[in-house]
Amino acid sequence: MRREHWRGIIEAYRHLLPIDPQTPVITLFEGNTPLVASRTVGSRIKRDVWFKVEGANPTGSFKDRGMTVAVSRAMQASSRGVICASTGNTAASASAYAARAGLPCVVIVPAGGVAAGKLVQTLAHGATVVAVDGTFDQAGALTRKAAVQFDLTSVNSINPDRIHGQQTVAWEICDTMGEAPDLVALPVGNAGNITALWQGFQAYHGRDVIHRLPRLIGMQAAGAAPLVEGRVIPEPRTLASAIRIGNPASWQKAVDAAKASGGVFHAVDDSEILEAQRLLAEEEGVFAEPASAAGLAGVMRLWAMNRLPPGETVVVVLTGHGLKDADAWSARLPLPARVPPTSEAVAAAIEQAGHSERGR
């Protein structure tokens, strides 16, 4: 029997999106990502913890949800091409959906500020990549100018179509759980995602699909935490390059979302981010990139500070796949020692790692 297969977020949520019968649907069947119950973290902190694994999207990050809507609408508007500034994931997503649409794509990135996997994706999809000697925030300003100059459609999250599509992560969480969770934790960089999540939960609440609204907890890296410090950070620093952003485009909307939901912004150190990434990989079986792990790092910190009410359901949005930034991980790990190709040497290596032979 043929099974009905998932046809992407536009077909799933067409009635809630700015899509009409004439819109050409440019999709890679994004969305419908796993909502995975925690195996160890939840029992450790005695909360009901779930992971929304956005790295399972076609290009490996949550950006695909907004991109399918933005690129479809750009096609409908007979756009000449798309352009974005990016710390890597938006670039990978924009270039893939542009390739799918047959549209040219330009991305402007901070030189040296993009993880290798993301740059490879973007180049593989045939985008024009301009690497500026500057920050993401400078790349953003230059992109806005170049968009006008070259008559290209901006697919950064200041484009409302991106936000429309990104709401679907909130809708999927509610559709799977049957209600909104108590708390949603996510990393915040340019602040589009937290804006979209709040919009999404509010839309479902307004339609009586859910009967309560979650608190949104936005996590930033300590060296790149403008929303926590309440000031622009001219030279943001963190190993989580995806959220190395000092002046988020959706600043006010993010502040409003966190406040209206009863949530807050928190800063976590790089060491906490790496520890959360390790926990996710080693104990939960989910490989998330460092920026993504910031959400969990924040939940762990709130719990340690006694600021996580008991009995709550917590959803942590894991925004991007760990393979995108393999360097962030491999830098910490020794490569496996080489051994001769004999069963004795292999057995010795296995034993050395703490495994015992049968019957011993």
Positions touching ligand F0G (CB under 6 A) are: 61, 86-90, 157, 187-193, 242-243, 289, 291-292, 319-320
For 48, 133, 134, 229, 270, the CA distances from 223, given in Å and listed in that order, are: 30, 19, 17, 10, 8
CB of 231 to ligand F0G, least distance (A): 17
Q: Of 117 and 320, which CB lies nearer to ligand F0G in the complex structure?
A: 320
Q: Count how many residues are written for the chain.
A: 360
C-alpha distances in angstroms, 189 versus 69, 119, 258?
21, 18, 14
d(CA 188, CA 171): 19
Instruction: Output the smallest distance, CB 214 to ligand F0G, in A.
Output: 17
- Residue 105 has, within 13 A of its CA and on its CB side, a CA count of 33
What is the rounded CA–CA span in Å between residue 331 and residue 184? 30
Find residue 266's DSSP bridge partners: 219
User: In angstroms, what is the minimal distance from the CB of 75 to ligand F0G?
Assistant: 22
Rounded to a whole number of angstroms, the distance between the first and last alpha carbons of the chain is 49
User: Which lies closer to ligand F0G via its Cβ, residue 161 or residue 289?
Assistant: 289
Beta-bridge partner residues of 185: 217, 316
Name which of 106 and 242 has its Cβ closer to ligand F0G.
242
* DSSP codes joined into one string, 76-131: HTT-S-EEEE-SSHHHHHHHHHHHHHT--EEEEEETT-S-HHHHHHHHHTT-EEEE
Q: How far is the CB of 353 from ligand F0G (least distance, A)?
A: 32
Residue 277 CB, shortest distance to ligand F0G, in Å, is 12
Nearest-approach distance from CB 121 to ligand F0G, in angstroms: 11
| Helix or strand holding residue 266 (H, E) | strand 264-268
Nearest to 53 by CA among 315, 279, 309: 315
The least distance separating ligand F0G from the CB of residue 169, rounded to whole angstroms, comes to 11
Q: For residues 297-319, b (16+ Cβ closer than 10 Å) or e, as one string?
A: bbbbbbbeeeebeeeebbbbbbb
C-beta of 86: minimal distance to ligand F0G in Å? 3
